[in-house]
Structure 1
Amino acid sequence: MHPLRLAPDAPDQLKEFSGSAISTLLFASNFWFWSEDSYWAGPSELKPLLHTWTLALEEQFYILCPLLLMALWRGARDRILPILIVLFVASLALSQYGSTAFSDANFFLLPTRAWELLAGAILARIELSYGRNASGTWAEILPILAS
């Protein structure tokens, strides 16, 4: 028997845990928990890896964002900040729409959560483009926006 396959008579909880463990290793536990059931269904203490959905989301962003930035660096270096802002607004708008139209997918998937991570990317790009001003308005506003 293959080591990742469980016997047909294995308890459902072991199957669910194994699936969530494998999906966690593949940075896909957000897909696992989204497809498995609603975040609010069933007691979360019976899902010991439930917290990994957000880690998977971050890892997906940290894989895709550098690829996007490398592509933009080659072809649209001077438009990186505006493109990041457009992506931020699009993700935020999709998240707002998704909160009622498809709440479970909205909760678990990157397109509707990317705005949260893009906010940091935008602030980092602003700092790279304009430098860090130790005093003035930016020094007061940026830490508030980043928190």
Structure 2
Amino acid sequence: LPKYVGEARTDLKPISITQPEGASFTVTGNHVRWADWSFRVGFTPREGLVLHQLKFRNKGVDRPVLNRASLSEMVVPYGDTAPVQAKKNAFDSGEYNIGNLANSLTLGCDCLGEIKYFDGITADSHGNPLTIENAICMHEEDDSILWK
């Protein structure tokens, strides 16, 4: 068993993420602007996070990049390769409504830094609206350059 099963780690030094001037992105409702990019944040019970109307501003003109982006349906064959097992697989996001499985995220535990949260709206088992508070967290992260 790993050394830290069931106990808190004490060998890691604290991480401090600061943005003294705030985040570089702006959010108006569900519309996000960051640098030359803009998009809308959405949420569905079936897919969870969905991005809409992703655009890139080039020479003052917003150019569409994609209209909608979400987690695609994926077949996961959980059974073995025997002929009778071939029918036993699951479409994880659709059959289980991956958006409904979202948790409320918390600052310092799930998300660090200058955070913007978005709620997820779904329905309970009786069809009543159900809000998953802080289902999505957005932040900036600089992990150095991607190429050299």
What TM-score range do you get, normalising by the shorter chain?
under 0.3
Q: Which has the higher contact order (CA 8 A, sep 6+)?
A: 1
What TM-score results when the alignment is normalised by the length of structure 2? 0.23
Name the one with the larger strand percent: 2
